[in-house]
Amino acid sequence: MVEKSTKVVDEQGLHMRPANNFVSAIVKYKSDITIIHNGNEINGKSIMNIMAACIKCGNEITIRCEGEDEEAMLNEAIALIEGGLE
């Protein structure tokens, strides 16, 4: 298991378009991904769960990955979040 904290920089937070961009890039990995926000654990491969978490610009989140390709998954997830999910 690996994890890292980061701050959401996308102006929209993790709403429809950014959540879709995130999940579309992450589903290719076999590992499990969890987004931790305000003590809640969110399935990082579920657009609906991400949107329901109401993660806004400036919020700090922790990305936790567990599985055979966890390092690569974590690196891409952090790059996506810190890059504004473009």
Which residues are marked as active site?
A: 15
Distance between CA atoms of residues 11 and 34, nearest Å:
22
Residue 24: C-alpha distances to residues 19, 21, 41, 58, 64 (Å): 8, 5, 19, 22, 17
